[in-house]
Structure 1
Amino acid sequence: MLFLEITSAVTALTLVVLAFCLIPVLLELKQTAISLRTFSDTLQLELKPLIKDLRDTVADVKVVTNSAAANADGINLFMEELGHAGHNIRMINRVIGVASTIVSGSSGWLTGARVAGKFIADRLLKKKGG
């Protein structure tokens, strides 16, 4: 029985030493849990306004995006009309170019016709008068 008593005493002594070693560890774990809970509460209090601001910002971005999308149709229509106006201006320039070519050519012809008409009229008048 002596062996059993020694073994029991060593086991009891080991458990007592282990308990004394575990007490500071358990106290530190308790302090860590309290600190973690405090940190969690603080973080939660600070995150609520941040999340609200983030939601407001997302709502503002949605409004801006919707406005931009609505204006994109107007801009596309404006660009199409601007293209049509450019096409019309090119057509007007072509017509003016053709008209100026005709006018410049015809003014030479008209000047020639006037000179010829005067020359013929002078000849006819000289024949009748003289």
Structure 2
Amino acid sequence: MTFLEIAALLAALAFAVLVGCLIPVLVQLRKTAAESEQLVKRLGVEVPLLISELRAVSQNVSALTGQARDGVEHASVLLHAVGEVGESVQQVHDVVRGSSGTLLGNVVSMVAGLRAAAQFVRERYQQGGPHNGG
């Protein structure tokens, strides 16, 4: 065997070892490519469904936001009305409190007048009936 034949034999042996090592790698690459293709097909089906569901969720959130806005506006109107009622009650309270002294004085005067009138009528009836002095 000559030097050239030995070199060719070593090159052929190295090539055979290289091919032997590359075959499992190529088989794994082929499996990975097939799985990737299946994943892309699956995503092609599921992504549009997901997008449509996201649109539906977005519309629902928008509708709920509108309803919440309406509810807050109604609550605001209600609270404003309650505030006005509270102010009216406060005004009535102030009027009653401010005029309570005058009102109480009027009631006491009226009661005193009624007592005096009742006493007068009682005395007149006890003296002999309703006549005018004579």
* Structures share fold, TM-score greater than 0.5: yes
Q: How far 1:98 moved relative to its partner? A: 4.3
Number of the residue aligned with 1:31: 31
Identity among equivalent positions (%) equals: 28
Q: How far 1:52 moved relative to its partner? A: 0.9
CA distance in 2, matches of 1:71, 1:107: 49
List gaps (5 residues or longer) in structure 1: none
CA distance in 2, matches of 1:56, 1:79: 34
Equivalent pairs counted in the alignment come to 124
| Larger RCO, structure (CA 8 Å, separation 6 or more) | 2
CA RMSD of aligned residues (A): 3.0
1:65 paired with 2:65, answer: yes
Q: How far 1:109 moved relative to its partner? A: 1.9
CA deviations over 1:27-64 (Å, ceiling 9, x no partner): 22111210121122123312321221111111110122
CA distance in 2, matches of 1:13, 1:111: 134
List gaps (5 residues or longer) in structure 2: none
CA distance in 2, matches of 1:48, 1:6: 62
TM-score, normalised with respect to structure 2: 0.70
CA distance in 2, matches of 1:4, 1:54: 70
CA distance in 1, matches of 2:111, 2:89: 32
AA matched with 1:39: L
Q: How far 1:89 moved relative to its partner? A: 1.4
Number of the residue aligned with 1:7: 7
AA matched with 2:45: L
AA matched with 2:16: V
Q: How far 1:129 moved relative to its partner? A: 4.4
Greater share of helix: 1
CA distance in 2, matches of 1:65, 1:103: 54
